[in-house]
Amino acid sequence: MPRRRPPWVIRIARERIDILFQLADKEFLKHPERSHRYVELARRISKKYNLRIPRKWKRRFCKSCYRFLKPGYNCRIRLSKGKIHYHCLECGRIMRFPYIREKKIRRRNKIEYHTLKKRADEKIPISNNSTDRESRNQ
């Protein structure tokens, strides 16, 4: 039976994946090849330690050519019928992701905001302690 990796190793691997994607995002305009290399390294780390790449970064690289995608520079994003279409301008692949979950979260937050606001607007009756004492004494 294979030995499990300690949690600190997995935590460090997750941090490195996040750092590499942040560097890829920051370096893309000056050195696009370097940012593509950072994506490659992050993918290797995730495969080696059997970790998922976070959803916010998973949508930032092409699943076909594994290039870092920067909207407006080497990818085009369109919305249609409950899906987000990412069109890679490097290889031409179109990736589709549903955005129903984001809609549900936004709707839930909106409802919670309005219920909290409504509760805050309601006037809470404040009892006057001095009148309560007088009525008890009589």
What architecture (CATH level 2) is domain 7-120? Up-down Bundle (1.20)
Three-state secondary structure call for residue 130: helix
Give the pLDDT of residue 93: 95
Return the CA Rg of the chain: 26
Q: For 84, list phi and psi in degrees, rounded to 5.
A: -100, 125
Torsion 12-15-21-26 (CA) sign: negative
Higher per-residue pLDDT: 2 or 45: 45
In angstroms, the CA 63 to CA 125 distance is 60
* Mean of pLDDT values over 28-42: 96
For the chain, what are the domain ranges?
Answer: 7-120
Q: For 80, list phi and psi in degrees, rounded to 5.
A: -160, 135
Q: What is the pTM of this model?
A: 0.69
pLDDT tens string 88-121 = 999 999 999 888 777 778 888 888 877 877 676 6
75 is in an annotated binding site: no
Q: How many Å from the N-terminal Cα to the C-terminal Cα in the chain?
A: 81
Is residue 69 pLDDT above 70, yes or no? yes
